[in-house]
Structure 1
Amino acid sequence: MNSKKRMTSRQLQAIERRQQLLGSAKKLFAKNGYYNTSVRSITQSIGMADGLIYHYFPNGKLEILHTIIREGCEVLSEHVNKILAGIDDKMTLDEVIVYFCKEARNTFQLDNELIIIMFREKDLLGRETSELLLKTFVKIWNAVNAFLKKRAQFGEIRQLDFGMATHQLMCTVASTVIMKYLGDNKLQQHNDNTYIERLIQFTTNSWKRLD
C-alpha cells in the first residue's frame, strides 16, 4: 500500500514537473522565439537541472514545442466546438455573426501565447499538429458554409456562391480579431461592438434578397 502511495506521488510530481516545463517554455517561446530560447533558460526559470528535461521530453526542445502546440490546439478545438454548439437557428443572421466575431476574439484571448507561437513558428509545426489545425479550420469552414445554406433555405438570404460567402465571412471575422490585437490607437474607433455590428450588417446586406 505504501509503495503504491509513493508511486502515485511520483506520478503526480512527474505530471506537475512536465507542466512546469511546458509552461516555462511557452512563456519563453512567446517572448523570445524558439531559436532564441535555450534549454537552460527553460529549466533555470523553474529551478530544474538541465539534464532532467530529456527525461520528460527525450527529443528535447523541438518535442516541447510540438507538445505545446498540439495540446494547445486540442483545447482550442474543444473551444471551437462549444462556439459552434452555441449557434441557434432562432438567432438572426447578424446575431450569429456578431456572436461568432466576439467568440473568435475570446478564442485568441484564451491562450495568447499559443497564438503567438503558432504564427511565429509555423515552419516548425509537426505533421500531426498541422493536420489538427487543418481539421479544426475545415470544421469551422464546413459549419459556416452549412449555416449559410440553411439561412438561404429559410429565405433569410438569397442563393449565392456559398464558398465565396464563407470565405468573405471568415475574412470579416479575422479582420475584427486583427483590429483588436494591433494595438494602434488610430484603430480604436474600429474596435468597438458598434463598429463590428455595422461591419457585419454591411457584409450581410449583400447576401440578402433584393425584393
Structure 2
Amino acid sequence: MEKSELQKDKIIKVAQSMFSEQGYDATTTREISRKADISDGSLYYYFPDGKREILDTIVHQGIESRTVVIDDWFSEIKTVYDLERQIIGLYERICLIFEDEDSYRSFMITIRERPLLSDSQSDWLLEILSNIQNKLIQELNLIKDLLSIDVNNFEDTTGIIISIIQKSLYDELVLKNNKVISKEVKELTESEISLMVRLIAKKDLGKN
C-alpha cells in the first residue's frame, strides 16, 4: 500500500472510531486531524469535501466488505437438510461480520447517522437481506418436490426466515447495543430457523 493510501486509511480509522463513539455531528475535522497526527490541510488534501466525504467513504467500505462476505454463499442443494444447514451457516457468517471491530463500527455509524445518508447507503442491510431472500427462493425451487408448501408461498416463507435473522441482529446490535451476537441468541435463532425449515418439509429431514 502506498504512503498516501496508508495516510487515508489512518484518517478513516480515526474518524470511524470517533463517529461511532461520539457521533458525526459532535466530531470536528480538527479533532480528526489532531488524533491522526496530521495538519488540517493534509486532511483536506486526502478528503477535499472534508468530514462528509470521510463519512461516505466509511459507509461505502463497510457495505462493500459485508456484501463480499455474503455474496455467492449459497451452493446447490439436494435435500431439505442441505437447506437448513445452508441457512444456518449463512446466519453464522453474518454474525461473524460484526465481530470485526471495523465492521461493527461501520454498521453502528450507518444506523445512527441514517438521516445523513442516501437511501442506497442506509438501506444496505435491507438490500442484502432481500438478495438473500431471492437466493433462498431459488433454493426452494430446487427441492420443491420435497416441500409441503406451494411455490406461490415461497416468498412469504423466505420472508419469515429473513425476519428471524433480521430480528436477532437488530435486537442485539441496535437495541441492546451489544458488539457481538450472544451465544444464547445465536442458538435461539438457529433453532427458530430449523423449526421453520422442518415445518415446510414433507417429512422429517434426515441427512440424505
Please report the TM-score for the alignment, with normalisation by the length of structure 2: 0.79
Structure 2 Cα separation of the partners of residues 128 and 192 of structure 1: 28
Quick one: structure 1 residues 178 and 136, their matched pair in 2 at CA, closer, same or farther if it must change by over 3 Å?
closer
Structure 2 Cα separation of the partners of residues 127 and 192 of structure 1: 29
Percent of counterpart pairs with the same letter? 22
The partner residue of 1:166 within 134, 140, 158 is: 158
The partner residue of 1:201 within 181, 194, 202 is: 194
Structure 2 Cα separation of the partners of residues 120 and 158 of structure 1: 39
Shift of 1:201: 2.5
Alignment of 1:121-140 (within 5 A): 121-126=113-118, 129=121, 136-140=128-132
Q: Which amino acid aligns with 1:191?
A: V
Structure 2 Cα separation of the partners of residues 109 and 189 of structure 1: 13
Alignment of 1:1-211 (within 5 A): 12-82=2-72, 84-85=73-74, 87-90=75-78, 92-110=82-100, 111-126=103-118, 129=121, 136-153=128-145, 155-159=146-150, 160-178=152-170, 180-181=172-173, 182=176, 190-193=184-187, 195-209=188-202
Structure 1 residues without counterparts, runs of 5 or longer: 1-10
**How many residues are treated as equivalent by the alignment?**
195
The question of whether the paired residues in 2 share the 8 Å contact of 1:104 and 1:177 is answered with no
Shift of 1:168: 0.5
Structure 2 Cα separation of the partners of residues 206 and 95 of structure 1: 15
Shift of 1:47: 0.8
Quick one: structure 1 residues 68 and 136, their matched pair in 2 at CA, closer, same or farther if it must change by over 3 Å?
same
Shift of 1:32: 0.9
Structure 1 Cα separation of the partners of residues 104 and 70 of structure 2: 15
Q: Which segment drifts farther, 11-20 or 49-58?
A: 11-20
CA RMSD of aligned residues (A): 2.9
Structure 2 Cα separation of the partners of residues 57 and 122 of structure 1: 21
Match of 1:6 in 2: none
Instruction: Specify the structure having the higher radius of gyration (Cα).
Output: 1
Larger relative contact order (C-alpha < 8 A, sep ≥ 6)? 2
The question of whether the paired residues in 1 share the 8 Å contact of 2:17 and 2:105 is answered with yes
Question: Residue 206 of structure 1: SS of its match in structure 2?
Answer: helix
Structure 2 residues without counterparts, runs of 5 or longer: none
Quick one: structure 1 residues 106 and 88, their matched pair in 2 at CA, closer, same or farther if it must change by over 3 Å?
farther
Shift of 1:21: 0.7
Shift of 1:39: 0.7
Q: Which segment drifts farther, 125-134 or 160-169?
A: 125-134
